């Protein structure tokens, strides 16, 4: 019996839906926590250096909003980590030694530091000196971002598994090089791009809320000062987000070519590949490729995709068809061959386990040695996850290969939504900074309303980035090594459905509560 015949796809779909639900709700709160702490620290630094009580008033206002957001973000984050054990226990077992280490460091070091100094930050205004309080504020910001570092290192490893070796005795991947995991280019780019985009979101939030005060003709000094700080901070971080996004895309082109092809809607590879600035996908008539699309309309920049991916316009960029069916001229192995090689890796592990159970020591030792050989790793084990899709029947094998294509429209539109909104934020921040520095903000109602409506747009862009990152690498939970269908716990789909709806109701209630509390605090305004 083939592995796919044993898979409960209903369980997989509901488990994925529940994890996506939790992650997306959690990510509503996290970006604001990451960025506004640094904006608060900058404002308090100005207060300490100038002694101006107005800056203390400004700092305490934004600190209250941070505290509300932080509390709810922690609640959703705890649930997210528990789901690795409840819904994805096979994954947790398969990579526990690697994935667990960054999360443990995050809990022991970063979260401990953040939770310790946050108490001083909120309750120490009249109990400790100005400089000590300022230090606590900066350490709270640093702790929050260190938490993000370790979580994103773990996620980066899932996107590009490095620094590991496979132990056939335990059937687990184990960490071989901690520094390779920590300093993986994928992890570094993911961390820098994620936090810089969070800083951008926080800056737009501060500007949007400050714009509301200007619309109401309230607390104008507070609003204008907040806008200046947030505009400078946000503009710098927007430029950095663009830079890190470019670096991330280049990394994806090399380590996750299928994701790269999907986010560009590229089905047939080419040299001098154009960059699609705007496009509308349509169904492809091609037989046996139901997930393949083509453009009904597109605006393209000639040669730009090849240049952005490899800094050389003449480089060949593989399309989805090249990756699935192979391209011998370009040295691209087909998914069919990868599936067969992955099957050999899985079968070698099974043969080793059988040899152990039959006390065939010589055969067991011979098979075990294969897993430490570089040649076996390069030719077979690196495709381990593809082996789950093997089928002796050629037609079924071809159908299975197409299951390895992510949802192209969602990947494509998520990427382009993120990029287009990024351009909007850059222009908005530039306008606010110029007008703010010239003290010409008053009366610009159109600009204030644009800033207010941009607050939800930042969340849309942020969520689109994660949809691209996670959906774009499907069906892999660990790129090329473990597919999602092999990662789920052996539980009933109905139990996951029940918890899905419970979480959906709980998270929605938390979000409504946060918005109401936030609005109440904003309406009160800055209080000395």
Residue ending a domain, choose from 402, 435, 455: 402
- Asked if 320 and 336 touch (Cβ cutoff 8 Å), the reply is no
In which band, very low, low, confident or very high, does the pLDDT at 62 lie, cut at 50, 70 and 90?
very high
pLDDT at 188: 93
pLDDT at 404: 93
In which band, very low, low, confident or very high, does the pLDDT at 285 lie, cut at 50, 70 and 90?
very low
Total structural domains in the chain?
3
pLDDT at 454: 96
Residue 342 has pLDDT above 90, yes or no: yes
pLDDT at 39: 96
Domain assignment present for 482: yes
Quick one: 275 and 322 in the same domain? yes
In which band, very low, low, confident or very high, does the pLDDT at 516 lie, cut at 50, 70 and 90?
very high
Domain assignment present for 175: yes
Residue 146 CA to residue 134 CA, distance in Å, equals 18
Phi-psi region of 393 (alpha: psi -120 to 50; beta: other; left: phi over 0): beta
Quick one: 116 and 178 in the same domain? yes
- E runs forming strands in 89-230: 164-167, 172-175
What does pLDDT average to over the chain?
A: 89
In which band, very low, low, confident or very high, does the pLDDT at 287 lie, cut at 50, 70 and 90?
very low
Quick one: 172 and 217 in the same domain? yes
Quick one: 211 and 308 in the same domain? no
Low-confidence winner among 60-64, 144-148, 295-299, 505-509 (lowest mean pLDDT): 295-299
In which band, very low, low, confident or very high, does the pLDDT at 282 lie, cut at 50, 70 and 90?
confident
- pLDDT tens digits, 218-238: 999 999 999 999 999 999 999
Quick one: 17 and 92 in the same domain? yes
Residue 159 has pLDDT above 90, yes or no: yes
Q: Which of 287-291, 308-312, 318-322, 390-394 has the highest mean pLDDT?
A: 318-322
Low-confidence winner among 210-219, 245-254, 369-378 (lowest mean pLDDT): 369-378
Three-class SS state of 403: coil
In which band, very low, low, confident or very high, does the pLDDT at 450 lie, cut at 50, 70 and 90?
very high
Quick one: 435 and 294 in the same domain? no
Q: What's the pTM?
A: 0.91
- Mean pLDDT, rounded, for 358-369: 88
Domain assignment present for 437: yes
Top pLDDT among 377 and 212 is at 212
- pLDDT tens digits, 409-440: 999 999 999 999 999 999 999 999 999 999 89
Quick one: 237 and 298 in the same domain? no
Residue ending a domain, choose from 402, 417, 435: 402
Give the list of residues 6+ apart from residue 492 with CB closer than 8 angstroms, or none.
Answer: 11
Quick one: 416 and 441 in the same domain? yes
Domain around 395: 332-402
Please provide the DSSP assignment of 246-300 as one string.
HHHHHHHHHH-HHHHHHHTT--S-BSSPPEEEEEEEEE---TT-TT-EEEEEEEE
In which band, very low, low, confident or very high, does the pLDDT at 360 lie, cut at 50, 70 and 90?
confident
In which band, very low, low, confident or very high, does the pLDDT at 291 lie, cut at 50, 70 and 90?
very low
Residue 4 has pLDDT above 90, yes or no: no
The 3-state secondary structure of 418-481, one letter per residue? HHHHHHHHHHHHHHHHHHHHCCCCCCCHHHHHHHHHHHHHHHHHHHHHHHHHHHCCCCEEECCC
Quick one: 398 and 417 in the same domain? no
User: What count of Cα atoms within 13 Å lies in the side-chain half-sphere of residue 214?
Assistant: 29
Top pLDDT among 526 and 291 is at 526
- pLDDT tens digits, 63-112: 999 988 887 877 777 787 788 888 898 888 888 678 777 777 776 766 67
Domain assignment present for 528: no
């Amino acid at each position: 019996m083939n592995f796919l015949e044993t898979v409960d796809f209903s369980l997989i779909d509901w488990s994925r839906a529940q994890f996506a639900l939790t992650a997306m709700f959690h990510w509503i709160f996290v970006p604001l926590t990451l960025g506004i702490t640094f904006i608060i620290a900058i404002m308090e630094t100005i207060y300490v250096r100038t002694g101006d009580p107005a800056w203390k008033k400004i700092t305490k206002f934004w600190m209250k909003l941070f505290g509300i957001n932080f509390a709810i973000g922690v609640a959703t984050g705890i649930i997210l980590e528990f789901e690795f054990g409840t819904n994805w226990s096979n994954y947790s077992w398969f990579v526990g030694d690697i994935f667990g280490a960054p999360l443990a460091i995050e809990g022991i070091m970063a979260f401990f530091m953040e939770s310790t100094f946050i108490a001083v930050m909120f309750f120490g205004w009249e109990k400790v000196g100005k400089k000590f309080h300022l230090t606590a504020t900066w350490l709270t910001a640093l702790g929050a971002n260190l938490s993000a570092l370790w979580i994103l290192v773990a996620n980066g490893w899932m996107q590009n598994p490095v620094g590991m070796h496979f132990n056939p005795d335990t059937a687990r991947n184990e960490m071989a090089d901690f520094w390779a995991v920590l300093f993986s280019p994928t992890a570094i780019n993911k961390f820098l791009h994620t936090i810089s985009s969070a800083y951008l979101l926080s800056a737009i939030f501060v500007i949007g809320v400050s714009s509301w005060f200007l619309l109401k003709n309230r607390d104008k000094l507070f609003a204008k000062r907040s806008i200046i700080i947030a505009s400078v901070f946000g503009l710098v971080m927007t430029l950095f987000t663009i830079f890190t996004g470019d670096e991330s895309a280049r990394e994806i082109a090399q380590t996750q070519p299928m994701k790269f092809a999907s986010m560009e809607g590229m089905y047939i590879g080419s040299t001098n590949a154009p960059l699609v600035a705007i496009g509308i996908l349509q169904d492809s008539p091609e037989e046996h490729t139901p997930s393949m699309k083509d453009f009904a309309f597109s605006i393209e920049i000639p040669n730009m995709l090849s240049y952005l991916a490899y800094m050389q316009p003449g480089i060949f960029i593989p399309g989805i068809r090249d990756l699935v069916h192979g391209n011998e001229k370009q040295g691209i192995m087909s998914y069919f061959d990868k599936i067969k090689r992955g099957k050999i890796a899985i079968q070698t592990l099974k043969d080793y386990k059988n040899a152990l159970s039959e006390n065939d020591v010589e055969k067991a030792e011979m098979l075990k040695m294969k897993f430490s050989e570089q040649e076996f790793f390069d030719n077979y084990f690196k495709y381990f996850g593809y082996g789950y899709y093997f089928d002796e029947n050629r037609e079924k094998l071809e159908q299975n290969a197409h299951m390895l294509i992510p949802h192209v429209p969602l990947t494509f539109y998520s990427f382009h939504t993120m990029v287009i909104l990024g351009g909007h934020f850059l222009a908005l921040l530039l306008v606010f900074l110029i007008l703010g520095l010239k003290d010409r903000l008053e009366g610009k109602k159109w600009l204030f309303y644009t800033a207010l409506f941009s607050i939800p747009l930042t969340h849309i862009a942020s969520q689109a980035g994660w949809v691209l990152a996670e959906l774009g690498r499907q069906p892999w939970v660990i790129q090329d090594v473990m597919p999602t269908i092999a990662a789920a716990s052996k539980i009933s789909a109905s139990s996951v459905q029940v918890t899905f709806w419970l979480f959906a109701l709980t998270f929605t209630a938390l979000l409504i509560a946060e918005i109401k509390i936030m609005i109440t605090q904003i309406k009160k305004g800055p209080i000395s």
